Amino acid sequence: MNISEIMEKMIDFLSGNVRDIEHMMKVWTYSKTIGELEGLDEERQFILETAAIIHDIACPLCREKYNSVDGVDWQILVEADYIVNAVESAYSRENIVNFMEKVMKTETGKRLAKKVFAL
Vertex 109: Cα angle to 91 and 2 (nearest 5): 105
pLDDT digits (tens, 9 = 90+) for 25-82: 999 999 999 999 999 999 999 999 999 999 887 655 555 666 656 678 888 988 999 9
Cβ atoms of 74 and 25 closer than 8 Å = no
Q: What is the pLDDT of residue 6?
A: 97
Q: What is this structure's pTM?
A: 0.72
Distance from CA of residue 16 to its chain's centroid? 22
pLDDT digits (tens, 9 = 90+) for 16-28: 889 889 999 999 9
Long-range Cβ contacts of 6-12 (<8 Å, 24+ apart):
6/50, 6/53, 6/54, 7/53, 10/53, 10/54
